[in-house]
Structure 1
Amino acid sequence: MNKSQRVKKNEEFQAIFKNGKSFANRQFVVYCLENEQAYFRVGLSVSKKVGNAVVRNRIKRYIRQTFLELTDQIYPNMDYIIIARNPAAKLDFHETKKSLEHVMKIAKAMKKKS
């Protein structure tokens, strides 16, 4: 994922929280909001309550890799904020990917497989 595909600034996070729609499952919460770019952007939030720095960074790596693998299935011109919940700390990569796919389908943020 390029740096241009990330939501970094606090004002952008707050705008997405305020104006976006949220969808959740047990492991993740996703906020979605349309943007003007031709690509989607992702912001990650993993609280210290989830685990130590090693655990939090692993979760963020897994999320980024999942978005990289699903790039062609995810709708462009959208901003997504992914918030990891406590159970996400116990997941391996494949479970993380499956859980994220599930919550993105709930959010109707993924194209149907052809």
Structure 2
Amino acid sequence: MNKRNRIKKNEEFQDVFKKGNSVANRQFVVYTLAKPEQSELRIGLSVSKKVGNAVIRNQVKRYIRQTFTELKDDLNQQLDYVIVARQPTATMDFHETKKSLIHVLKIAKAFVRKIN
């Protein structure tokens, strides 16, 4: 995931939180905000200290970024995504994380192509 595909600034996060839509499952909350002028999707990650120590939080963020890298072609490119990881993600491996993210992204109707 390139740096241009990341949401970093607090104002951008707040914009997605206030103007976007949210969906959730037990592991993740996904906020989406339509940006029709945008050519590539952008993601922002929020993993709080409640999830675990720095090692666990960074691992969760790596899993989320890798999932988005693998699903990039199937996702709507004109959206900003903010992913908030909840406490159960601390004990999940990559495949469980990916399955859970796909589930919540399907609920958010973020896919432009059908995913199994």
Q: When the two structures are superposed, what TM-score results if normalisation uses the length of structure 1?
A: 0.97
CA distance in 1, matches of 2:71, 2:40: 13
* Aligned counterpart, 1:96: 97
1:43 aligns with 2:44: yes
Where in structure 2 are there 5+ consecutive unaligned residues? Answer: none
* Aligned counterpart, 1:8: 8
Runs of 4+ more than 2 Å apart: 111-114
CA distance in 2, matches of 1:74, 1:112: 7
**How far did 1:113 drift?**
2.2
Where in structure 1 are there 5+ consecutive unaligned residues? Answer: none
- Two-structure CA RMSD over aligned residues (Å): 1.0
CA distance in 2, matches of 1:112, 1:5: 20
Deviations 1:55-76 (A, max 9, x none): 0000000000000000111011
**How far did 1:111 drift?**
2.3
CA distance in 1, matches of 2:75, 2:113: 10
| Percentage identity across paired residues of the two chains | 67
Classify the secondary structure of the residue corresponding to 2:15.
helix
- Please show how residues 12-23 of structure 1 align to structure 2 within 5 Å: 12-23=12-23
Classify the secondary structure of the residue corresponding to 2:72.
coil
